[in-house]
Structure 1
Amino acid sequence: MRVLPLLLAALAAVSAATLGGAALAEAWLPALLLLAQLAVGAIGILALGHLLGEAWLAPVRAPLEAAARTVPLVALLALPVLLGLAHLYPWAAGPPPEGPIRLLLQPWAFQARAAACLAVWAALGWGLARPGRHPRVAALALALLLPTTTLASFDWVLSRDITWYASLQGFSLWVEGLAAALAAAILAAPLLGRAPAESQGMPGLERALLTLGLAVLWLWFTQFIVVWMADRPEESAWYLRRLDDWGWVQLGLALPALLAAIALAAPPDHGRRRMAAVCWLLLVQHGAHLWWVVRPDAPVASPAPALDLAVAAGLGLLWGAGVRAAIARDPPAARASGHGSPPPATG
């Protein structure tokens, strides 16, 4: 990645960490998590494509590799959160929680785990975003992504309410990130002259989008049913808090978008326009659901919607500049004429 996007990200992060307050930190967190999930989701999709040797990876490989290379930029943008834990996590501002979890929820331990996860993701992104096919790196990536994303989800999302923990939450958010990253790559591919042909790549992308959409829906339903059957007050309170004042986000936006995406993706032979609609719906679903999971546990008053939008737009532009710089460093044309795409699956 070129130096300019990293310098801009560092400047923005240091400014937010030193001059911002609780409201800015609260607006920063969901935007940062969305970008992190797109980058890590791109690594996961690349790993699946490399490991299976699927033909559908070829047309979306360039944007996925560019997104995978943005983990260092995401690490810089994480500084306001890592330095402002007291604004975002009650355990960091007050007395440490009781019990064994006290050892985990210490600011220095949180920061060390975050640095370790970001370093692992950056190394995996670099290893997979190279010309050629890398099945061994892909296998290692899948083996490391599950525990690191689950740990990161507990730290960055669930620890805002330490009375409730769902073992499927981290995996669910990672699968959503896979769907969002693939959807974003499909939308970006035509801009790079790499749109999938009707006869090559398109059927595989259709099946991948449908599979990921159904997996997200199943994980949502499974988590809800498990909490309902367990009948534990602290777990029920987590859902009730979100279904009270924030129910419109999940029931009025995220769930309808996911169901519409699945309905559009189910019939075969999508065509370009229908596939684009499926991708946009998956991105809307992911952004809305992530906000629904993160925001209700804010320890301070929610920031103004204008601040949320401004921070999300600013971080999105910085991340987009990082993606563009990564593509400029290794243009798709060079890969198309060389050995950048794995061979189609056989047998």
Structure 2
Amino acid sequence: MEFQVSNKAKMLTTVLMAVGIVFTLVGVVMAMGDHQLGTKIYSNMLVNSFFFFGIGLGALFFLALQYATETGWYAVIKRVIEAVAGFLPFGIGMMLVTLLTLSFTHGGHVYMWMDPDTVAHDSLVSGKSAYLNQAFFWIRTIAYMAIYFIFWRGFKNRSIQQDQNADMAIDLHFKNYRKGAAFLVFFAYFSSTSSWDWIMSIDTHWFSTLFGWYTFAGTWCSTMIVLVTLTLYLKKKGYLPKVNESHIHDLGKWTFATSFLWSYLWFSQFMLIWYANIPEEVTYYLTRRDNFTFLYFGMFFINFAFPMLILMSRDAKRHAGILTFVGLIIFAGHWLDVWVMVMPGTIGPKASVGLLDLGMAVLCLGFFVRVVLTNLTKAPLVAVNHPFLDESLHHDI
């Protein structure tokens, strides 16, 4: 069955983008005269480009994981995963625009290590300049983006070829198997180093060996929420009739599991730094604990307690209303997580979630949803020649 973006969906995404633009402009006008206005805009560009880029990348990772493990159950929702992964080129564009803007403004008070004056007068920043310098930063960034784009393009093309030529389906499957395993090797390294480069380097004096895994867990959980919500939306609209409660249950389990993975890493990072009490490590938490107590610990409560209390049972993971309700709350919680990772290090104690922040987030959300829905129209919703399609159609747990 071919998917068509409904007029209602087009209207909703257009309204979201329009509301986002209005909120952003009002937020900018209200902040006129604030010497940190430019930093607020740059910081929000980074928050939203990183958050939505991460969801596209998370979908690509999840697709590669299914290929590498030769999983069968997912075949009937493969196109849903590919549609979300299809946001990756747009996410790459958003990230590159943001990072170029920061480079041309000597860090824009976001990356202090890009400011020559800071490097000259701060011995700790200067000591990290062999790694944190613009030339090496851009070499790494271009490498990340190029590798991600090449793998996404390859998976996309082979998926279409598999639909068009049943005789090649097995050969293409094994090629995806090999490429999926190769992608996971690159991703295991890049997912950590890119989070150091783009997020952790904001607090240049601070470091955490768990930060890359922590950031990845939040991205993966956000991705699973998008996948389960999109699948439920398609089911509600009469698409994907072969998707049954067992498929929904598996997506619900992934959402539950990744939420707990993120919670475990949040606590592990916090506990180890608190216990060691080393000055260059605790500074990150002191800033957030003292000035953003409600947001910081409230965000952890949202992302941990809601899935634990509501998604624990088997029935809850199969209930569309419960999954959507909890998913949207956790989704907002992980956006707040990225906000808390960025804003205290750029704006400082005066940072707060205002119209400018909400406006840019809603604008990017509307754009993201429109792109994903449009991606669904570019191929049949079921990958007809997938070798494990029959297994997926008879999936029952």
* TM tier, smaller: 0.7 to 0.9
Return the offset for 1:63: 2.7
Deviations 1:272-315 (A, max 9, x none): 22222332233122111111111110057748721112222222
SS in 2 for 1:166: coil
1:210 equivalent in alignment to 2:256: yes
Change (3 A) 1:318 1:229: same
Of 324, 327, 346 in structure 1, the residue corresponding to residue 373 of structure 2 is 324
Matched letter for residue 213 of structure 1: S
Structure 2 Cα separation of the partners of residues 69 and 109 of structure 1: 28
Return the offset for 1:24: 1.7
Deviations 1:211-237 (A, max 9, x none): 212211111111111112221012111
| Contact kept? 2:40, 2:347, Cα under 8 Å | no
Structure 1 Cα separation of the partners of residues 337 and 242 of structure 2: 29
1:169 equivalent in alignment to 2:211: yes
Matched letter for residue 250 of structure 1: Y
User: Comparing both chains, which one has the higher relative contact order based on Cα–Cα distances under 8 Å and sequence gaps of 6 or more?
Assistant: 2
* Percent of residue pairs identical: 20
- Can you give the 5+ residue segments of structure 2 that lack an aligned partner in the other structure? 1-20, 22-36, 120-124, 163-172
Structure 2 Cα separation of the partners of residues 280 and 303 of structure 1: 21
**Equivalent residue, structure 2, for 1:81:** 99
Structure 1 Cα separation of the partners of residues 293 and 58 of structure 2: 26
Q: Where do 1:140-289 residues align within 5 Å?
A: 140-192=182-234, 193-194=239-240, 197-270=243-316, 271-289=319-337
| Contact kept? 1:166, 1:223, Cα under 8 Å | yes
| Contact kept? 1:187, 1:276, Cα under 8 Å | yes
Q: Where do 1:119-158 residues align within 5 Å?
A: 119-129=146-156, 130-131=158-159, 133=173, 134-158=176-200
Of 6, 27, 39 in structure 2, the residue corresponding to residue 22 of structure 1 is 39
Structure 2 Cα separation of the partners of residues 272 and 260 of structure 1: 16
TM-score, normalised by the number of residues in structure 1: 0.85
SS in 2 for 1:54: coil
| Contact kept? 2:263, 2:300, Cα under 8 Å | no
SS in 2 for 1:104: coil
Structure 1 Cα separation of the partners of residues 83 and 244 of structure 2: 24
Deviations 1:163-197 (A, max 9, x none): 11111111111122111111101111233323774
Between 89-98 and 337-346, the greater mean CA deviation after superposition? 337-346
Question: RMSD between aligned alpha carbons?
Answer: 2.7
Matched letter for residue 148 of structure 2: W
Q: Which runs of 4+ in 1 moved over 6 A?
A: none
Structure 2 Cα separation of the partners of residues 161 and 184 of structure 1: 30
Structure 2 Cα separation of the partners of residues 66 and 190 of structure 1: 14
Return the offset for 1:144: 1.1
Deviations 1:218-257 (A, max 9, x none): 1111111111222101211110101112121122234234
Between 169-178 and 308-317, the greater mean CA deviation after superposition? 308-317
**Equivalent residue, structure 2, for 1:339:** 386
- Can you give the 5+ residue segments of structure 1 that lack an aligned partner in the other structure? 1-11, 13-19
Structure 2 Cα separation of the partners of residues 195 and 30 of structure 1: 37
- Greater Rg over alpha carbons, structure: 2
| Contact kept? 1:158, 1:164, Cα under 8 Å | yes
Matched letter for residue 200 of structure 1: S
Structure 2 Cα separation of the partners of residues 298 and 273 of structure 1: 38
Of 38, 41, 51 in structure 1, the residue corresponding to residue 68 of structure 2 is 51
Change (3 A) 1:304 1:203: closer
Matched letter for residue 318 of structure 1: F
| Contact kept? 1:39, 1:181, Cα under 8 Å | yes
SS in 1 for 2:313: coil
**Equivalent residue, structure 2, for 1:293:** 341
Structure 2 Cα separation of the partners of residues 343 and 34 of structure 1: 35
Report how many residues are paired.
Answer: 326
| Contact kept? 2:77, 2:243, Cα under 8 Å | no
Matched letter for residue 64 of structure 2: A
**Equivalent residue, structure 2, for 1:104:** 131
**Equivalent residue, structure 1, for 2:359:** 310
Change (3 A) 1:156 1:196: farther
Return the offset for 1:329: 1.8
Return the offset for 1:120: 1.3
Structure 1 Cα separation of the partners of residues 383 and 82 of structure 2: 14
